Amino acid sequence: MMIFAISSVTFASGAFRMGDQCSEVAEIQGHLIKLGYDVMADGDFGPSTVDAVKSFQKSKGIKVSGYVDETTYRALVGREMPEVSRGSSYISRRLISTAMQYLGTPYVFGGNSLYYGIDCSAFTQQIYASVGISLPRTADYQYEVGTPISRSELLPGDEVFFTTYTYGASHCGIYVGDNKFIHASSSRGVTISSLHESYYNARYIGARRMF
């Protein structure tokens, strides 16, 4: 397990990247298709588009990142890049789908195995990593990154935080909608709980949007 000594999510903000859904992405895909890359111009920046962008960047001697920044956009499309429109439904679906695969995984304090035992922050770190988002290892440091959002603004894929055995953010999970979140519970392992449960409702301290 790698421990990231970072204080922010590692996606470029001024770039089109995995999870974006818009007409600008469809145009980017159209240019990739013209160059022979195997993608669909559906406006959904998914894994196949990431792979095509990486191959294009490598062919042009551009830093290989998989997202389309100003340099990549100019080389591919031939003009100045427009303002980035952000969409999140694709990445949210992947996050939650991946997390659900590990329901029932035992809880182990300090554990980092999605099969044999894991703790809450290792669980969120690894699930976010599955969609290309790098987070710090512990809940308190994860609470310092991303964009703070209110409880009323919660969307599937957001990370929720609680204060439990020590002061500050000491437990975390991933919001899945309908006031529920998936997390590695010390008593039940990876499970789904409600934010309305008295224990979690009393200990909820905030949420962060990581993409």
Instruction: List the catalytic residues.
Output: 120, 171, 183
C-alpha to C-alpha distance for 96 and 23, rounded to whole angstroms: 25
Question: How many residues in total does the chain contain?
Answer: 211
2 Cβ contact list (under 8 Å, min separation 6)? none
Amino acid at 155: L
Max CA distance (Å), the chain: 56
Q: How far apart are CA 113 and CA 31, in angstroms?
A: 41
With both helix axes pointing from N to C terminus, report the angle between 23-34 and 70-77 in degrees, rounded to the nearest 10. Answer: 50
Question: With contact defined as beta carbons under 8 Å apart, do 180 and 192 qualify?
Answer: yes
Crossing angle of the two packed helices 120-129 and 89-100, in degrees rounded to 10: 130
Token digits of residue 95 = 């996050």
Q: Which residues contact 43 (CB under 8 A, 6 or more apart)?
A: 21, 22, 23, 25, 26, 29
